[in-house]
Amino acid sequence: MSSSPFNVLFLCTGNSARSIMAEVTLNHLAADSQRFHAYSAGSFPKSEPNPLALALMAQQGISTVGVRSKRWDEFLADGAPPIHLVVTVCDAAAGEACPLYPGTPPKTHWGVPDPHTAAEFEQAYRALRQRIERFIALPIEALTRAELQQRANAIGRI
């Protein structure tokens, strides 16, 4: 296996809640193995992450240190990490024309409704965590690009 992690970019229009929660959850769950690293971004990022998302992550024991809302074109800049999979988590981002990242990584959609209340944030987190747990259980190193695309799409339908 390569010593480099498999990099996942979670996209959502505002990059303030769902994509942020997905980023920190994948990094938290994969921290020991170092097989994966997650990032998040948005097409029209908010000025800062949603406080309800940050509070929920803290309740789950998941660090959000250094997390910020950012524009998706940061991952096109020189020195940006290579992206191996792009995951949209909101329907608006799924319908937008995403930038073409170097190497044109596969893109999949794991839609989660936009949360507004504490209960909705918890539902969104549970849905994302379930998908992320299934994703990190995949034998990524052994999958072809087509198999990765198929499996990632299937996870999005959970």
Contact 90, 44 (CB under 8 A): no
Q: Which residues are part of the catalytic machinery?
A: 12, 90, 98
Contact 26, 132 (CB under 8 A): yes
Strand spans (E) along 20-104: 36-41, 85-88
Which among 112, 122, 147 is positioned nearest to 59, based on CA atoms? 122
Collapse the DSSP code of 108 into the 3-class scheme (helix H, G, I; strand E, B; otherwise coil) and give the result. strand
